Amino acid sequence: MNKSAYAAAGVDIEAGDRAVELMKASVARTHRPEVLGGLGGFAGFFDASALKGYAHPVLATSTDGVGTKVAIAQALDRHDTIGSDLVGMLVDDLVVTGAEPLFVTDYIACGKVVPERIAAIVSGIADACVAAGCSLVGGETAEHPGLLGPDEYDVAGATTGVVERDGILGAHRVEVGDAVVAMASSGLHSNGYSLVRRVLLEQAGWSLDRHVDELGRTLGEELLEPTKVYALDVLALIREVQCHALSHITGGGLANNLARVIPGGMQARLSRSSWTPPAIFTLVQETGGISGADLEATLNMGVGMVVVLPQEQADAALRVLAGRGVAGWVLGEIVTADGPGSALLT
């Protein structure tokens, strides 16, 4: 099929080429010294000799997307923040194992390539990669006319990192008596948007430009708030205090995600009185008539990341976090319990 026929079918190769040109500068500023080459090849290169300083390097990988939060970006026609949501979902799933994120690749599927829009998405991805200390080494932009509308798109990606084998964190390190320390989220992050959109936009009929007094800004501004990227903060915490396990609080809520790093015979006992969830969570619950248990099983409730560590290390951890501008508090402790590992809000 020749170029003009392909364009008639809805795929604009020239627009794709323009998008690549527009994103080159954004991608280049993420590059660590280990990155070889630039955009345009069939694969990205990362110099693995950089791992020779490890005694027993183990590669870690994670893949994810942003979910229906992209619908908010599309409705507001603002696309430079959704990349932070993508990278946050990727690198912060990785870093909880103790791994340092090395590089990211992305995938953007759209109904029509609008070069400026694609460049804005990639610029946001690049900003977040810089914030996470990793490189954007490549990706793919795919035009799917007939499958997606001209203004519709979805984003996904993958990341790879490295950790010393004896430095891997997780349930195998957790002990009875450990403290559980929370790190504040920047809002909803990138999970639960199907529920939030149904409650506030469909059922309540609110518009995204509606100013909400409880939020101190418009609903759209609140819903598009970028996901906090914790990677460098977590790596600093791991270097400076003894960490046993970490949990990235994403889809499924606080207790369900934390339970993934609690061993059998133990429970993370968490105190609801230790923090006040931001207004957006109360707003969704009251507007939708949703039970507290249902809400907590869906949204992060203002907790974006959790670290489990020895009780005597809790104050030091809070000092490290405060020094990096991350709000933190003691959320609970690890206790003995029957059955599989679990977490309980009390």
Residue 133 Rama label (left phi>0; alpha psi -120 to 50; beta): left
Structure tokens at 186: 């920047």
CB 220 within 8 A of CB 209: yes
For position 1, what pLDDT does the model report? 47
Query: Is residue 12 helix, strand or coil?
Result: coil
**Apex 96 CA angle, 95 and 98, nearest 5:** 65
Find the Cα–Cα–Cα–Cα dihedral 174, 160, 232, 234, rounded to 10°: -10
Helix (H) or strand (E) holding 90: helix 82-95
CB 27 within 8 A of CB 122: yes
pTM beyond 0.85: the answer is yes
b/e sequence 305-325, b meaning 16+ C-beta within 10 Å: bbbbbbeebbeebbebbeeee
Q: Which of 42, 228, 270, 225 is nearest to 131 (CA)?
A: 228
**Apex 235 CA angle, 185 and 256, nearest 5:** 45
pLDDT in tens, the chain (346 residues): 455 556 655 555 666 666 667 666 676 667 878 778 766 667 778 888 888 999 999 999 999 999 999 999 999 999 999 999 999 999 999 999 999 999 999 999 999 988 899 999 999 999 999 999 999 998 889 999 989 999 999 999 999 999 999 999 999 999 999 999 999 999 999 999 999 999 999 999 999 999 999 999 999 999 999 999 999 999 999 999 999 999 999 989 999 999 999 999 999 999 999 999 999 999 999 999 999 999 999 999 999 999 999 999 999 999 999 999 999 999 999 999 999 999 999 9
Helix (H) or strand (E) holding 309: strand 303-309
- DSSP for 126-186 reads HHHHHHHT-EEEEEEEEE-BTTB-TT-EEEEEEEEEEEEGGG--SGGG--TT-EEEEEE-S
